[in-house]
């Protein structure tokens, strides 16, 4: 089964990512599905990460953590955060099939980022909510 989003829907999502996250100082952001496909991505122009590999690993990582959550009696962990020395990664689930991944430096506080991500999730929900990937 394949699925698609219209040109308008993708533009709208990219605008949300740009306005709410990249303009804030986030280095790179991408929206993926749980199969590891990239739906939309944006960066600050200085970031050169291999996003296709990152997406595949992020989907796998999120799936593994969800399986761990189930073992300890949680339905899922809807939010994940990995802290590095210079770069940090934040994962947030959108609906049942999508994942928003944000890569940011230490100049942005985690609390502020979470607030902004929550805002993006809510806005993106409305666009993606019209259909479910799987």
Partner 1 sequence: MAFINMKKKEVQVKVVYYGPGRGGKTSNLEYIYKKFRERIQTEMITVKTHGDRTLFFDFLPFDIGKINGYDVKIQLYTVPGQVKYNATRRLVLRGVDGIVFVADSMVIRKDKNILSIKNLEENLTDYKKSISKIPLVIQYNKIDLAEQGIPVLSFEEMEKDLNSVLKAPSFSASAITGVNVVQTMKKIIAMTIASIKQELK
Comparing CA positions, the residue from 35, 51, 32, 41 lying closest to residue 94 is: 32
Site membership for partner 1, residue 85 (CB under 8 A): no
Token pair listed for 70: 């189930």
In angstroms, what is the minimal distance from the CB of 121 to partner 1?
A: 19
Cα–Cα distance between 52 and 49 in angstroms, integer?
Answer: 9
Residue 15 or 122: the one with the smaller Cβ distance to partner 1 is: 15
Site membership for partner 1, residue 127 (CB under 8 A): no
* Burial degree of 132 (CB within 10 A; 0-12, 13-18, 19+): exposed
- The residue within the footprint of partner 1, chosen from 11, 96, 109, 125 (CB under 8 A), is 11
Site membership for partner 1, residue 101 (CB under 8 A): no
Give the gyration radius of the chain's Cα atoms. 14
Binding to partner 1 (CB under 8 A) within 27-56 occurs at: 33-39, 50, 52-53, 56
Question: 105 and 87 in contact (C-beta within 8 Å)?
Answer: yes
Residue 46 or 134: the one with the smaller Cβ distance to partner 1 is: 134
Interface ranges with partner 1 (CB under 8 A) = 1-7, 10-11, 33-39, 50, 52-53, 56-57, 59-60, 63-64, 67, 133-134
């Amino acid at each position: 089964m394949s699925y698609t989003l219209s040109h308008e829907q993708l533009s709208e999502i990219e605008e949300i990512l740009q306005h709410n996250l990249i303009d804030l100082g986030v280095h790179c952001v991408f929206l993926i599905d749980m199969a590891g496909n990239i739906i939309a991505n944006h960066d600050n122009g200085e970031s050169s990460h291999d996003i296709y590999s990152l997406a595949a690993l992020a989907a796998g990582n999120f799936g593994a953590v969800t399986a761990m959550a189930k073992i300890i009696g949680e339905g899922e962990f809807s939010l994940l955060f990995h802290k590095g020395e210079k770069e940090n990664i934040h994962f947030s689930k959108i609906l049942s099939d999508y994942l928003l991944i944000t890569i940011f430096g230490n100049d942005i506080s985690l609390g502020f980022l979470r607030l902004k991500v929550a805002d993006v999730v809510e806005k993106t929900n409305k666009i993606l909510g019209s259909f479910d990937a799987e």
